[in-house]
Structure 1
Amino acid sequence: MRQFGALVAAALVLAPAAARAEWKKYDTAHFVIYSESGEKEVTRLAERLEGVDGLMRMASGLKSDVEPVKVRIYQVASNAEVERAINDPNSGVEGFYTTNVFGPFAVTPRHTNAAGDFTPELVLHHEYAHHFMLQYFPAVYPGWYTEGYAELIGSSKFLPDGKIAYGMPARHRGDDISASWVSMEDILLKSPDKIHNFDLYGQGWAMTHFLTFSPTRAPQLRKYLALLSTGASQEDAARAFGDLGELNREAHKYLDLGSFSYRPVAVPIAKPVIRKVDPVSAGEAALIPEIIAFRDDDPSGIRKDTDRAREIKARNETLAHIREKAERYATDPFALYFLAQADYGDGDYRGAEAAADRLLALQPGHVRGLVVKSLCVAQAAGRAAGAQRTQLAAEARRLALKANQGDHDDPLPLVAYYQSYHLAGLKAPKDALNILSQAVATMPQDSHVRMLLVEGLADDHRWGQAIALIMPIANDTHPTPQRDAARAVLAKLQAEAAMANGSPAA
């Protein structure tokens, strides 16, 4: 019995180690997937993501030579981890997409309590559709189309033969879309804040489905969107549809008939779908909860005091965890970079520079380490004067150029190059503004970098370009502090442009 007991004890000791999951990083053509699930499950996830990406490329006509910007996908254990990342417990959120200084990423759970059609996979595909639209076709879109298109993609189903049923109905939106229908005349002509009880997701999907699959209406939709993107008013763009009353009757009838056509589409996917598998360092794996919770946008624009205080409290807790774990993994390059970036975002430039110096002592050519160091030196230049300012700004620029030489595809060294002038309080030359434009083209969904360029263009009196750049933020579907701030800036730009155009010297 003792021997049997010893064997059982040994088995219990060994079992957790044998079964312990490890974080790995899986590269595909358009994604980087972080998961503990193992290659079989990740391969299925990757094939479906690549299928959705391929479907949108075919539907949009995106050229194959357009360089992809990979989206990181974090597959976490459960909805509870998703909710912790967004600081909203018991919300039932099935996943989310956002972007920060690390780039665009999405979070999806492996296990969920969701039932029916509203699955984490649908949410992930819906959110990736938003990324695809923002990344490759940044323009001015009405809210109903932004969400309607994402629902159209998210609701598409994978068929047993491997094809994708493009246009399957969004059953998870319920059967009450018709009962709550809002006139399309109101939706197309009125400001969104003047439309009440509008189901942005449900009716947005129904309108998008109708206009996409109708042979006569699809060309009108394309014309309507093109007009909006060129700065046409809502009224002028809506004329693309002709009689809006007739349009509304057709769309509502289409919904009531309930016979939604869909197309089985064969989307070729390069095999093997997983091109490379890398281990995730112990420091980075330990920091994944903080990575997906990290927010670096400006919270000061959150209007409600209690909401702003709650958000700042959550950010401070995340920052404290980052600092504690970075101390624990003091020689892990990712942990040091994350600490440097987090401290910089918190305004602790001395702490950020110290972390960057420690990282660069380990890896002198670390691109993002050089970027943070450059930004810290540029901040110091802004606090200096005279020859010292000029000298520090030149050093910041040297570091940014060195980072760019290390990775020509990384947009952050380009941002750092511009900031070597901007943060130092120096007038940025035209080449720096053009370089910043390249960074925005690579990361169009980053509102902070976009707003930097808007400000630079406005300082250069290039009103039209500044207004066009700020439009996607100002017309965001969701009410955010960034949208509110962008609308205030937009009004100011439009007033300055009108004044300049109306003056004799213009």
Structure 2
Amino acid sequence: MRLRTKIAVMLAFSVGTVSAAPAAAETWYRADTHHFVILSSGKEKQLEEFAHELEQLDALMRLLFGKKPEVEPNRLTIYLLDNAKQVQDLLGDEGKTVAGIYSPETDGSYAIANRQKSYSDFGLSGDTVIFHEYAHHFMFRNLQTPAPAWFVEGFAEFVSTAEFKRGGAWTFGKPANHRAYGLQVGPQVPIRKLLTETASGKSDYVDAFYAWSWALTHMMYRGSDEKGRQVARYFTALNEGQDPLEAAEAEFGDLDAFEAQLKKYTKSALSYAQSDEPIPYLSDITVRRLSEYESDLTQLTLEARTARDVEGTRKDFAKFFDRHQPTADGLVQFATLEYLAAHRSDAQPQYDFAVADAAVDKALALNPDHVDANILKGKILLEPFDHDDDPDAGNWAKARAYFGKANRTDPLDPAPLFYFANTYLREGKKNAQMGEALEGAFYGAPESREIRFAWAQHLVNEGEFDDAIKLLKIISGNPHNGSGTREFIRMIEQMRDGELPIGTLTVTQTAVVEQSDPEGDEEGDTAG
């Protein structure tokens, strides 16, 4: 079946005629805002309202933290599905209880959310899920302060209950009622564990960890201005390397008394911010209906990005190329699917990039300046260095040429900058442009762990150990991938202190450290 599907799609590339088309797929709409690209298969008006709400949320968080809007942001792409079940069906077995995900990536961060309303005070609405996920994105891009796991998730929960009305009224910091079960019925999360551990283990404990993280964040930010200043000083102490419990006790006092205070707080009437005054925000938003071709490709792009049902998506691409003339965009998305599929452990054979390479070559023939096609071509050229016994050393220069062309086409895209510089890190060579390229890539996509680790690796190679450690400490408390980061920091500290030779940590070892957390980069909000 795999071979027949591949052949069918490849034939679609070479045949110029279009056969009778099956029934048209659902229509998608696209909203373009200052910070977002939102794609939805729902109603146009609903999408427009949602786009305004997201920009208002961004403006409110910037107001709270004193952050100006990014001048030319690397916008977050959001796919808005009908309900949580559609999200779960898309993600397959890995997303059985997931209502939305946020995936920070070098090639373009994205989130998958849903439009489902909650008809219960204790339910989880689609808005709550995407507001939670955007809080993570906002934190990674704007708050360059190390934060422990409880605050990473607690802050996202704190933000998730924001509401924006059509007349401009808004609320912020309402109780996270969807976490009530975790607070009232879930297992106990002792304060010392809450302050030092991550959300892991059985689902009921994870739910309780999220719930108490929200409660602690709410108490510290809604309790009083002094509590907010305490949190800031506590973060500073953590950044300076102080023991987490000692730092907490220094600011919050006796931890047993602090825990009792937190429990009492959850049983009190909780306050929240509200106003009838509209928040000034970047309201220049356009919404348009996508063509049949664009709608079909949007659905396939979403399937290719998640790459959960490879065989099913291959069949969908075969139908797509049967209905539409091949375009560079369509070919690149198919090539992306095949590129990701070749890395899967069940690929037969694994690391066979022939189909992906053929598709990307056809894309470049149609549009030699296509940014994503040039990036993917460069990445394919570098694959033999990871998987072959005798790779062609000339591929380094060839790949750099493709990354360079992508950068010249779109100088603001962080991905070509990263991939260009990373070739030198992987080859073990230096280049005068490496540091500038990695720094530019990082400031374009600070949420990408891949870019952050690469820049840290470069700083280590330059002997700037403390700067590398500072760069990584910011994400070391991330509950989804913090342990690998902390191991990397420990190794850098050993090199700085002369306990390990400089250069001990190679790019290959860095990749292993990055993969040491089972949950990886992808973050999800449960529907339960």
Q: TM-score range by the shorter chain?
A: 0.7 to 0.9
Pick which of 408-417 and 255-264 moved more.
255-264
1:361–1:384 Cα change, 3 Å: farther
1:269–1:335 Cα change, 3 Å: farther
C-alpha separation in 2, matches of 1:228 and 1:217: 17
Superposed CA deviations along residues 371-421 of structure 1, whole A, max 9, x for unmatched, are 2223334456887999x73x5433332332221111111111102211443
2:273 corresponds to which letter in structure 1?
Y
* Alignment counterpart, residue 136 of structure 2, candidates 122, 127, 130: 130
Q: Tell me whether 1:211 sits opposite 2:220 in the alignment.
A: yes
Question: Following TM superposition, by how much is the alpha carbon of 1:208 offset from its aligned partner in structure 2, in angstroms?
Answer: 0.6
1:64–1:101 Cα change, 3 Å: closer
C-alpha separation in 2, matches of 1:262 and 1:113: 22
Question: Following TM superposition, by how much is the alpha carbon of 1:170 offset from its aligned partner in structure 2, in angstroms?
Answer: 1.4
Pick which of 464-473 and 188-197 moved more.
188-197
Please give the TM-score of this superposition, normalised by the length of structure 1. 0.79
C-alpha separation in 1, matches of 2:458 and 2:152: 28
Superposed CA deviations along residues 52-72 of structure 1, whole A, max 9, x for unmatched, are 111111111112355433211
C-alpha separation in 2, matches of 1:54 and 1:31: 13
1:272–1:197 Cα change, 3 Å: closer
1:263–1:223 Cα change, 3 Å: farther
Partner of 2:148: 142
1:174 corresponds to which letter in structure 2?
A
Q: 1:178, 1:252 within 8 Å by CA — same for their partners in 2?
A: no
Partner of 2:259: 248
1:462–1:36 Cα change, 3 Å: same
SS of corresponding position for 2:380: helix
Question: Following TM superposition, by how much is the alpha carbon of 1:74 offset from its aligned partner in structure 2, in angstroms?
Answer: 1.2
1:228 corresponds to which letter in structure 2?
L
Partner of 1:12: none
- Structure 2 gap ranges (5+): 1-22, 343-350, 503-528
Question: Following TM superposition, by how much is the alpha carbon of 1:209 offset from its aligned partner in structure 2, in angstroms?
Answer: 0.9
SS of corresponding position for 1:108: strand
Pick which of 22-31 and 80-89 moved more.
80-89
1:188 corresponds to which letter in structure 2?
L
Partner of 1:262: 273
Partner of 2:436: 434
Larger RCO: Structure 1 or Structure 2 (Cα < 8 Å, ≥ 6 residues apart)? Answer: 2
C-alpha separation in 1, matches of 2:194 and 2:33: 39
Q: Tell me whether 1:103 sits opposite 2:137 in the alignment.
A: no
Q: 1:27, 1:33 within 8 Å by CA — same for their partners in 2?
A: yes
1:364–1:291 Cα change, 3 Å: same
1:486–1:50 Cα change, 3 Å: same
Question: Following TM superposition, by how much is the alpha carbon of 1:279 offset from its aligned partner in structure 2, in angstroms?
Answer: 2.6
Superposed CA deviations along residues 226-277 of structure 1, whole A, max 9, x for unmatched, are 3323443313432233443443343333222223243337443557542353
Partner of 1:444: 446
Partner of 2:477: 475
C-alpha separation in 2, matches of 1:107 and 1:115: 23
Question: Following TM superposition, by how much is the alpha carbon of 1:147 offset from its aligned partner in structure 2, in angstroms?
Answer: 1.3
Aligned counterparts, 1:291-370, within 5 A = 291=302, 294-295=305-306, 314=308, 316-317=310-311, 320-321=314-315, 324=318, 327-328=321-322, 329=324, 331-345=326-340, 346=342, 347-370=351-374
Partner of 2:16: none
Instruction: State how many pairs are aligned.
Output: 464
Q: 1:326, 1:336 within 8 Å by CA — same for their partners in 2?
A: no
Q: Tell me whether 1:374 sits opposite 2:384 in the alignment.
A: no
Q: 1:107, 1:292 within 8 Å by CA — same for their partners in 2?
A: no
Partner of 1:188: 195
C-alpha separation in 2, matches of 1:252 and 1:404: 53
1:263–1:315 Cα change, 3 Å: same
1:427–1:475 Cα change, 3 Å: same
SS of corresponding position for 2:275: strand
C-alpha separation in 2, matches of 1:489 and 1:118: 36
Pick which of 318-327 and 31-40 moved more.
318-327
Question: Following TM superposition, by how much is the alpha carbon of 1:87 offset from its aligned partner in structure 2, in angstroms?
Answer: 1.2
RMSD, aligned CA: 3.7
Partner of 2:34: 29
1:404–1:377 Cα change, 3 Å: same
Q: Which of the two has higher C-alpha Rg?
A: 1
Partner of 1:86: 91
Partner of 2:235: 225
